[in-house]
């Protein structure tokens, strides 16, 4: 497990995670007028493309140094899956949800990500569920139920 000490590396990682969460939340709030105005697939394609361009620029040195012939077929399949499902399809569903329910309701379902990851880790890698994980999962489910019972104000 993670040590209780607060090292500069832990602090930097925590700050980057917090920045990532803030960026994702801002994206969800700012894009609602756009996803209501434009087709979900089209809007998602443009936002993914806009994000891919700076990523390609930053990753270009590593891409040029990569021995692409050494990558196995199964690794290419995993990369294709990562591009299609977790990136494009997930963002398309996310944008569709924001257009119809708003950023707050749509984002509440992201609370399921650690739970689903935990279940998949248990099934695929035999990772154990301890009491803390089970209590956390229960609290998330209760929170989602409460959020879904509150009437939306649009």
Summarised one tens digit per residue, pLDDT across range 48-73 is: 899 899 999 999 999 999 999 999 99
The answer to whether 19 touches 80, Cβ cutoff 8 Å, is no
Q: Give me the chain's average pLDDT, please.
A: 87
> CA 131 to CA 114: how far, in whole Å?
15
pLDDT at 2: 52
Give the Cα separation of 28 and 23 in Å (integer).
Answer: 9
Task: Say what the pLDDT of residue 81 is.
Answer: 93
Checking if the pLDDT of 148 tops 80, the result is no
Whole-angstrom distance between the N-terminal and C-terminal Cα of the chain?
43
Rounded to 10 deg, the angle between the 112-125 and 131-149 helix axes is 140
């Amino acid at each position: 497990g993670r040590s209780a000490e607060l090292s500069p590396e832990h602090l930097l990682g925590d700050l980057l995670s917090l920045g990532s969460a803030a960026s994702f939340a801002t994206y969800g709030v700012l894009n609602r007028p756009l996803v209501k105005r434009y087709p979900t697939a089209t809007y998602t394609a443009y936002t993914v493309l806009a994000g891919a361009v700076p990523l390609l620029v930053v990753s270009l040195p590593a891409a040029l140094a990569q021995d692409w012939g050494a990558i196995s077929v199964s690794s290419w399949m995993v990369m294709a899956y990562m591009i299609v499902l977790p990136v494009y399809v997930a963002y398309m569903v996310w944008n569709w949800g924001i257009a119809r329910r708003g950023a707050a309701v749509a984002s509440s379902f992201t609370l399921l990500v650690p739970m689903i990851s935990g279940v998949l880790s248990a099934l695929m890698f035999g990772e154990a569920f301890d009491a803390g994980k089970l209590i956390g999962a229960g609290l998330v489910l209760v929170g989602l139920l409460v959020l879904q019972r509150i009437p939306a104000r649009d």
